[in-house]
Amino acid sequence: MKKLILTIMLCLGAALFAVEPNQFPILGWGVLNYLPEHSKTPEFYEEMKECGFTIAGFASNDEQVAAAKQAGMQVIIWHRDITAVDFRHPDPDGWREKVKAVVDKYADEPTVWGYYVKDEPELADMEGVAIMTQLIRELAPGKEPYANLYPPSANPNHWAPLDFDGYVEKAMTEFASKAVGYDQYVFYEDGNVRETMQKGYKVSREKALATGKDWWYCGLSIAHRTYAVPTYPQLNMAAFSALAYGARGLAWFTYLDTRMQGWHDAPLNAYGERTPTWWALKRVNRDIQGLAPILNHLRSDRVYHFGDSVPGSAERLHGPDAESLLSGMLLSSHWLIGEFTHDETGDRYLIVVNKDTTHTNEFLPQWRDGKVPAQVNYVFTVHPGECGINRKPNDNNIFEAGAAALLHLHY
């Protein structure tokens, strides 16, 4: 058997952030809603950028746009003439003039990434949301309409009589945005994991591939109710699981403290100070930004699991099929594998995730007959380069709790 070599990549650092094609879109919620006095200074956006974000949500005045521009960040605009309309009774002719007045103001402003339309529309809102996204696409070429869907764990009445699959498909078919995403919060104080965690990824991937759309995942970065204080293993596992399913963007709710009772440990607290969540999220976001030059060119081929559930959850998961590159895994069963092809080079890649957020696991793949690579490389992010897996005495095939890696396969 040919010798296997495996290489990993950690964070490339700030040099990538200045180059737009080499950024992975990561949105931080909560600029408009919480601590608005902080969001009018360049330092606020510089700190977001340091944490690995590329887009701030949501700006509502020129001071915020100017401050973000000075820091080299983008923003999504929130304006009541777009968001505070009656989506259940669409009035495209009546909306047009007001929308045009909003978007014309920022037509030549690259700091403005797009416009917030609606969060978690119900089925009754969908026609109106679709019309608004079409108006923004028509009147603001080059800008994106932003709408975020309910998760599969929400009350089914929100999309009845459709099922969740039909709800996502309708949005991806009818919304004029390039990407459609959803939010889902999955980690609880008692260690349990929501049982629809992987379903949201799976449905979004399938509908995105079928419609030619991209999809984004929005994860939780603030504790509230019985949701746990976010840890690095949880944040990393959630984010890289989405990437393994082909997500082309991420969002975190919320970047700032909400100033509401019971909400706590956001990346920035009520005083605008960094919490341990900030540092954990920085590690996740910056690792992803380091991989962005490759991630932005990967086409999702296949996703599968070893182990029929995520630790802490009873959700049933699908394993590899007869065409997968891997046929098995030695010792540990807690793995998620995404297979990809680079859209320019044709090279094959894997995103590998340790689904266990409390235990370290050793990555010992079994390759399917006839599909053994001559070389497998972890992709480094701090310093460009590659290093082999399981080269004693380094034991660098060890994945800490919730850890993930991008693997480059050479045939």
Tens digits of pLDDT across the chain (411 residues): 333 323 322 232 333 233 356 899 999 998 666 777 778 999 999 999 999 999 999 999 999 999 999 999 999 999 999 999 999 999 999 999 999 999 999 999 999 999 999 999 999 999 999 999 999 999 999 999 999 999 999 999 999 999 999 999 999 999 999 999 999 999 999 999 999 999 999 999 999 999 999 999 999 999 999 999 999 999 999 999 999 999 999 999 999 988 889 999 999 998 889 999 999 999 999 999 999 999 999 999 999 999 989 999 999 999 999 999 999 999 888 999 999 999 999 999 999 999 999 999 999 999 999 999 988 888 887 666 667 676 565 677 889 999 999 999 999
Give the pLDDT of residue 38. 79
d(CA 124, CA 410): 49
Give the pLDDT of residue 390. 66
Determine contact, residues 270/262, Cβ cutoff 8 Å: no
d(CA 118, CA 83): 6
Give the pLDDT of residue 22. 85
| 3 state SS of 405 | strand
User: Which residues make Cβ contacts (< 8 Å) with residue 37, sequence separation at least 6?
Assistant: none
User: Quick one: which of 208, 218, 233 has its CA closest to 151?
Assistant: 218
User: Quick one: which of 8, 21, 11 has its CA closest to 343?
Assistant: 21
- Which structure tokens are listed for 19? 């180059």
258-263 contact pairs (CB < 8 A, 24+): 258/30, 258/33, 258/34, 258/222, 258/224, 259/34, 259/35, 260/224, 262/224, 262/225, 263/222, 263/223, 263/224
d(CA 185, CA 203): 16
**Residue 341 CB: number of other CB atoms within 10 A?**
15
Rg (Cα) of the chain, in Å, rounded?
21
d(CA 177, CA 214): 9
Residue 220: C-alpha distances to residues 91, 97, 160, 232, 399 (Å): 34, 36, 26, 12, 23
Torsion of CA 63, 67, 73, 76, to 10 degrees: -10
| 3 state SS of 287 | helix
